[in-house]
């Protein structure tokens, strides 16, 4: 069955592309999720409109990501960790910890968008990259400091 994709579908194609898929895949997955329409003569004429809508959505998503990037880059986070002898950190600061710190500041960021190659295991100042959109990456300053002991 030939269908016109209304949105990008991973491993299938981009919006506006005409692809051939199995009948069941189209009926049970693509059509119910509004990802594609049948490739009829009338729908083939509307490919340009589908591409315009996709471009409009992408531009809007990008503008929102740019605004969020500006707000995030002004932010400075502090992660307090327990340390032992010679300032050796117990445990580490992970993407989930950073996501929780961002949430406490009012930002709802998924931990999978935080680009942390490995957990932070030392005290210091780090610039953490957060992927907000395909080509919008924000840098957030993170201070990993010693937790003050309470008497």
Distance from chain centroid for Cα 64: 13
Q: What is the fold of 2-45?
A: Ribosomal Protein L9; domain 1 (3.40.5)
| Residue 31 CB partners (closer than 8 Å, separation 6+) | 37
Query: Is this prediction's pTM over 0.85?
Result: no
Per-residue pLDDT 10s for the chain (151 aa) are 999 988 888 889 888 888 999 999 999 999 999 999 998 888 888 887 877 888 898 899 999 999 999 998 898 899 888 888 877 888 888 999 999 999 998 888 889 999 988 888 888 899 999 998 888 899 999 998 888 765 4
Phi, psi of 145 (to 5 degrees): -125, 165
Q: Give the start-to-end residue ranges of the domains of the chain.
A: 2-45, 69-146
């Amino acid at each position: 069955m030939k269908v016109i994709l209304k949105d990008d579908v991973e491993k299938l194609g981009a919006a506006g592309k005409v692809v051939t898929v199995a009948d069941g895949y189209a009926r049970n997955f693509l059509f119910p999720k509004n990802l594609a329409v049948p490739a009829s003569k009338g729908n083939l004429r509307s490919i340009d409109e589908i591409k315009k809508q996709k471009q409009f959505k992408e531009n809007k998503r990008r503008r929102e990501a740019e605004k969020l990037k500006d707000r995030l880059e002004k932010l400075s986070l502090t992660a307090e960790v327990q340390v032992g002898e010679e300032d050796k950190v117990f445990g580490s600061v992970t993407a989930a910890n950073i996501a929780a710190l961002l949430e406490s500041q009012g930002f709802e960021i998924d931990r999978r968008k935080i680009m942390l190659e490995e957990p932070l295991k030392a005290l210091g100042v780090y610039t953490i990259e957060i992927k907000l959109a395909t080509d919008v990456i924000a840098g957030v300053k993170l201070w990993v400091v010693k937790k003050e002991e309470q008497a």
